[in-house]
Amino acid sequence: MKNKKLVMIPGPTPVTRSIQDQMGRETVAHGDPGFVKDFKQVIEDLKDIFKTKGEAFVVAGTGTLAMEMGIANVTKEGDNVLVVSHGHFGDRYVELCERKGLKVDVLSSEWGTIVPVEDIEKKLNEKNYKAITVTHVDTSTGVCAPVAEIGEIVKRFEDTVLIVDGVCATAAEPEYLDEMGIDVLITGSQKAFGVAPGLAIVLAGPKALKRRKSLGTIRDYYLDFEKWIPIMNDPAKYFGTPPINLIWGLQESLRIIKEEGIENRYKRHEKVGKAMQKALEEGLGFTVLAEKDYRAVTLSCVEYMDGIIDEEFRKILAEEGVVVAGGLGSFAGKSFRLGHMGNIDTHYLVSTISAIERTLYRLGIKDVLGKGVSTLTEELIK
Ligand SMILES: Cc1ncc(COP(=O)(O)O)c(C=O)c1O
């Protein structure tokens, strides 16, 4: 019998049965009173959980659309923007902003490290930046940016709107908009929320909404906060057809989050991230590529030991029942990316580490069986 394949890439993540059931319901009219109530609840829950007095937007699209929505509503052509990049997804904001005619300055770190917050502060003092973008967890490097510290700095710059890309962080790494100084949080449904791909989720705090108002009519149509605010406040209204079944999926995800408690969810991710990273490094002999102090809890970028060929490793691992992603950019061919976020329990974690052990064994590293699992278990039962 073939092994069931666990999808342990850094998104999409496993979609639990109760969320699948919601997405599998018979689609109703978008004006259906039951759906309107559900959509309203989703918007209220997002604002409550991520703590903003501003607005929440849930529209059909992916994380990239959310990135675009974030920047389009707080800048106009010719504005200065600062992009802090810790990898591939930080860099994505550079092209996106340039295409919008923004003047972009970039602060980049070497992959696996972060841009020091002092450098960010220094740069903000040099020019009037209308926005700064920071990727909370860059999925290409497994690096987590010190968003709380950056938020404290940006709070002092009245004219600068802080946009945080939470696609690989939201619902796993702490993100409280108003108190942390995050003005726009952009994210998607397919990672730590554990819903299928297809929802662009954006939260905008008071500073960002004030900026949007001051811009008048903007060029973008589908992305315009002003078009969507009436719908998000009263989903009985229409602007674009809502992705009904995905919204039900998100509603169930938010129910799971509320049941777990967001603080507990953050703590669980921290524990799981550390345990998985210890099992991979100390148990099995891999190296996690991100610097120790800035490791994400949501995924690990894992460097192979000598003699392991990336494609062969991932093929055998898939036969053993676990799908992981390849490394990106300068990490390509040398590493794999393992997601450990969302609605996953101990079964997923133990099975994943055990499948990695079996893969290494099949590749000739014979003394690993049980070592990763025992390190993982010791950490998890603490
Ligand atoms: C940090 C980050 N930002 C943005 C994106 C883009 O999201 P999407 O692929 O949903 O468009 C991703 C995708 O993995 C991501 O990890």
Are 200 and 152 part of one and the same domain? yes
Residue in 64, 91, 191 to alter for ligand 1 test, most ligand atoms within 8 A of Cβ: 64
What tokens were used for 32? 């259906």
Which domain range does residue 351 map to? 6-12+261-380
- Does 1 fall in a domain? no
d(CA 308, CA 313): 7
How many A from CA of 165 to the centre of ligand 1?
8
Q: State if residue 166 touches ligand 1 by the CB under 6 angstroms criterion.
A: no
Q: State if residue 11 touches ligand 1 by the CB under 6 angstroms criterion.
A: yes
Are 246 and 130 part of one and the same domain? yes
Residue in 141, 168, 199 to alter for ligand 1 test, most ligand atoms within 8 A of Cβ: 168
Are 177 and 307 part of one and the same domain? no
pLDDT score, position 3: 82
- Does 102 fall in a domain? yes
Query: What CA–CA distances, in Å, run from 157 to 55, 97, 125, 129, 164?
Result: 22, 20, 9, 9, 16
- Does 219 fall in a domain? yes
Are 268 and 254 part of one and the same domain? no
How many A from CA of 167 to the centre of ligand 1?
6
How many A from CA of 268 to the centre of ligand 1?
23
Final residue in a domain of this structure, among 260, 288, 322: 260
Which residue lies with its CA nearest to atom 2 of ligand 1?
167
pLDDT score, position 12: 98
Are 107 and 225 part of one and the same domain? yes
Are 330 and 354 part of one and the same domain? yes
H helix or E strand, kind and range, residue 167 = none
Cis peptide before 146 (omega within 30 of 0): no
Q: Output the pTM of the full model.
A: 0.98
Are 145 and 89 part of one and the same domain? yes
H helix or E strand, kind and range, residue 82 = strand 80-85
- Does 357 fall in a domain? yes
Q: How many C-beta atoms surround the C-beta of residue 224 within 10 A?
A: 18
Are 252 and 322 part of one and the same domain? no
d(CA 58, CA 61): 9
Q: State if residue 167 touches ligand 1 by the CB under 6 angstroms criterion.
A: yes
CATH code where residue 146 lies = 3.40.640.10
pLDDT score, position 26: 98
- Does 343 fall in a domain? yes
pLDDT score, position 178: 97
d(CA 24, CA 17): 10
- Does 373 fall in a domain? yes
How many independent structural domains does the chain possess? 2
Query: What CA–CA distances, in Å, run from 188 to 224, 257, 380?
Result: 17, 15, 28
**Would you write out the chain's pLDDT as a tens digit for each of its 382 residues?**
888 899 999 999 999 999 999 999 999 999 999 999 999 999 999 999 999 999 999 999 999 999 999 999 999 999 999 999 999 999 999 999 999 999 999 999 999 999 999 999 999 999 999 999 999 999 999 999 999 999 999 999 999 999 999 999 999 999 999 999 999 999 999 999 999 999 999 999 999 999 999 999 999 999 999 999 999 999 999 999 999 999 999 999 999 999 999 999 999 999 999 999 999 999 999 999 999 999 999 999 999 999 999 999 999 999 999 999 999 999 999 999 999 999 999 999 999 999 999 999 999 999 999 999 999 999 999 9
CATH code where residue 290 lies = 3.90.1150.10
Q: State if residue 376 touches ligand 1 by the CB under 6 angstroms criterion.
A: no
Q: State if residue 165 touches ligand 1 by the CB under 6 angstroms criterion.
A: yes
- Does 139 fall in a domain? yes
Q: State if residue 336 touches ligand 1 by the CB under 6 angstroms criterion.
A: no
How many A from CA of 109 to the centre of ligand 1?
19
Are 270 and 360 part of one and the same domain? yes
Final residue in a domain of this structure, among 260, 292, 318: 260
Are 23 and 172 part of one and the same domain? yes
Query: What CA–CA distances, in Å, run from 308 to 68, 94, 102, 250, 357?
Result: 39, 34, 44, 39, 13
Q: State if residue 139 touches ligand 1 by the CB under 6 angstroms criterion.
A: yes
Final residue in a domain of this structure, among 260, 284, 317: 260
Q: How many C-beta atoms surround the C-beta of residue 377 within 10 A?
A: 18
Are 251 and 271 part of one and the same domain? no
pLDDT score, position 1: 80
How many A from CA of 375 to the centre of ligand 1?
31
Q: State if residue 135 touches ligand 1 by the CB under 6 angstroms criterion.
A: yes
Residue 136's SS3 state is coil
Are 57 and 21 part of one and the same domain? yes
Q: State if residue 41 touches ligand 1 by the CB under 6 angstroms criterion.
A: no
d(CA 337, CA 139): 8
3-state helix vs strand vs coil in the chain, percent to 5: 45, 15, 40
